[in-house]
Amino acid sequence: MVFGQVVIGPPGCGKTTYCNGMSQFLSLIGRKVSVINLDPANDALPYECAINIEDLIKLSDVMSEHSLGPNGGLVYCMDYLEKNIDWLEEKLKPLIEDHYLLFDFPGQVELFTLHTNARNIINKLIKKLNLRLTAMHLVDAHLCCDPGKYVSALLLSLSTMLHLELPHINVLSKIDLIENYGNLAFNLDFYTDVQDLSYLQHHLDQDPRSAKYRKLTKELCDVIDDFGLVNFSTLDIQDKESVGNLVKLIDKSNGYIFSTIDSSAVEFSKIAAAPLDWDYYRYPLLPLYMAGLIAIQ
């Protein structure tokens, strides 16, 4: 069994920074980590990637050869990767023995809401290599400062969850910068727990652009409420406690915490129901790290 994360989200939400910080954290707590860059538009990588899609296909070459723009080029690249999935499988085989995998995907949201090639790539890897993956959907936290943008982020998150059909965690990234964009209409728990969205209606009506679509907005909010699937975790990639709490949540979602436990169903249930501050016996360095005695280099 191989565990890992599929890192997705709109452009600028911090996916590459997340992969860099998360790989450092996981390495520190004793995991062998490999980052796989599947974004052909990402030509300035801060991390050392084990596999780079640019070795297979380059976005600049696709745009030049087929007279495509960036969006069309990315769709073409994902389609090409799906058709040449054997290339990726061969590259992954040396890593799946003992590595934790981070897949850094492109930021084009259509790939995870409309098109099927990215989903097909993930599903083929899961079936062929027996992967246990969690989708990490990053959303920039500053969208909470604008009710209309926040509702749009909720719809995007819901659509992505339904499209990918993976264990899924929505994350408000750059939470440390949220105060730079103004005061929130409600406390942060309202936005992370996605509570009664009817409270947003008054604030939406203050904006002339959204007030004219009042009925449509209400119906969209009702859809989100009716599904009851969307909520958010928060992340400050520079804060060790924030990253540590998110790792624990991820490990529960993809089953990593059960991977080496040989016990009864009762013990499994106890761990599954445990709070996020449950101490991993497998992480001898984690208490020191969380106490600030060990720092990310």
Please provide residue 296's backbone torsions phi and psi, each rounded to the nearest 5 degrees.
Answer: -65, 130
Length of the chain: 297
Question: CA gyration radius for the chain?
Answer: 20
Rounded to whole angstroms, how far apart are CA atoms 147 and 153? 10
Provide the residue-wise pLDDT of the chain in tens; the chain has 297 residues: 899 999 999 998 999 999 999 999 999 999 999 999 999 998 889 999 999 999 999 999 999 999 999 999 999 999 999 999 999 999 999 998 889 999 999 999 999 999 999 999 999 999 999 999 999 999 999 999 988 899 999 999 999 999 999 999 999 999 999 888 888 889 999 999 998 888 887 787 777 777 778 888 889 999 999 999 999 999 999 999 999 999 999 999 999 988 765 544 455 455 555 555 555 544 444 444 444 434 443
Q: Which residues of 22-46 are buried (b: 16+ CB within 10 A; e: fewer)?
A: bbebbebbebebbbbbbbbbbeebe
Token pair listed for 86: 């054997």
Token pair listed for 170: 């929505």
Strand order of the β-sheet with 2-8 is: 51-52, 33-37, 100-104, 2-8, 131-140, 168-173, 233-234
CB of 24 closer than 8 Å to CB of 5: no
CB of 137 closer than 8 Å to CB of 155: no
Beta bridge partners of 103: 6, 36
- pLDDT for position 292: 45
Rounded to whole angstroms, how far apart are CA atoms 145 and 104? 27
